[in-house]
């Protein structure tokens, strides 16, 4: 299963990256049980962001997406994702490719009125996520 293979690569030296605070959301990337979790959270209690598109790029280059999902149902509101797992109400636009250590990745989450990003790099051994 791709997620299990992916978990093996999660020795991350990740550093928090560009969380689009001017656009009202923070994007956090963490390792949870060998999978990469992405959380999009509002910076104010009045904001209710619903992600419409989430993309993971290699080296922050939009031409090198390793995974992408797009919302296809308007009645679905998702803010938490497991990279490689397509949530209900979404469809995959790019087939999942597990990240490799030593490479920087960017998660880009967008929806009506917001866009947020976080960079992370896969480390070599310990399974932690580092933010860049």
What percent of the chain clears pLDDT 70, i.e. is strictly above it? 74
10 vs 5: CA distance, rounded Å:
9
Range of the domain at 122: 2-131
Instruction: State yes or no: pLDDT of 7 exceeds 50.
Output: no
State pLDDT tens for residues 91-122.
999 888 887 777 889 999 999 989 999 998 76
Residues written for the chain: 132
45 vs 47: CA distance, rounded Å:
6
Q: What total number of domains does the chain contain?
A: 1
- Among left, alpha and beta (phi > 0; psi -120 to 50; other), residue 73 is beta
């Amino acid at each position: 299963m791709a997620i299990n293979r992916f978990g093996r690569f999660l020795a991350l030296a990740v550093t928090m990256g560009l969380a689009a605070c001017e656009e009202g959301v923070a994007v956090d990337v963490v390792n949870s049980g060998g999978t990469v979790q992405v959380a999009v959270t509002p910076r104010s209690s009045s904001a209710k962001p619903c992600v419409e598109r989430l993309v993971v790029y290699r080296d922050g280059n939009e031409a090198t997406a390793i995974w992408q999902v797009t919302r296809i149902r308007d009645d679905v509101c998702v803010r938490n994702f497991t990279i490689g797992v397509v949530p209900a109400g979404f469809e995959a636009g790019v087939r999942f490719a597990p990240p490799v250590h030593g490479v920087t990745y960017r998660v880009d989450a967008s929806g009506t009125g917001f866009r947020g990003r976080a960079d992370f790099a896969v480390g070599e051994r310990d399974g932690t996520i580092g933010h860049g």
